[in-house]
Amino acid sequence: MSEEKLYAVRNDGGQWADPGYTFGSGAWVTPDKAEREEDAKHHGGHVVAFVEEPEKVEVSKKRIMKAVRNGYTVKEKKYRVLTPKSWWASENEPEYMHMNVLNGIENYKGADDDTLFTQKQLDLYGLSGSPFTKEEVTDDEQ
């Protein structure tokens, strides 16, 4: 796999710069980061790097066990559970199920660490199906 990166200029509205520095849906990418930084300085926006996603490989159980013995951990997927819209106090503010130490599971405005559940917890608390909607949380959101 190549480690070469390509760079483009994007504005705050999510539009890409083309060769004429008109922002729209088409991106003009080059391997010259310094050139793109100069373009962003003169025409607005910021530089975005495009990196080739690494190829996924299957590993043996033996290799995984060795990684665990060496201190690596496997992150369990986490989910937020959106309550039905009819439960929301405000139509524009979604509410999520929340783990409250004193009151147990309750609906809650906003999303924080106490609104994260594992699949096992969802099944245990009956949050897996209707009327709830589960949303997988990525590492960036945790």
3-state secondary structure of 95: strand
What is the rounded distance in angstroms from the CA atom of residue 140 to the CA atom of residue 106? Answer: 25
Residues 132 and 91 reside in one and the same domain: yes
3-state secondary structure of 106: strand
Closest CA to 87 of 72, 107, 105, 68: 107
Give a yes or no: residue 19 inside a domain. yes
**Range of weakest confidence among 57-66, 81-90, 120-129, 133-142:** 133-142
Give a yes or no: residue 46 inside a domain. yes
Structural domain harbouring 127:
78-137
Give a yes or no: residue 127 inside a domain. yes
34 pLDDT above the threshold of 50: yes
Give a yes or no: residue 21 inside a domain. yes
Give a yes or no: residue 65 inside a domain. no
- What rounded mean pLDDT belongs to the chain? 81
Number of structural domains (the chain) is: 2
83 pLDDT above the threshold of 80: yes
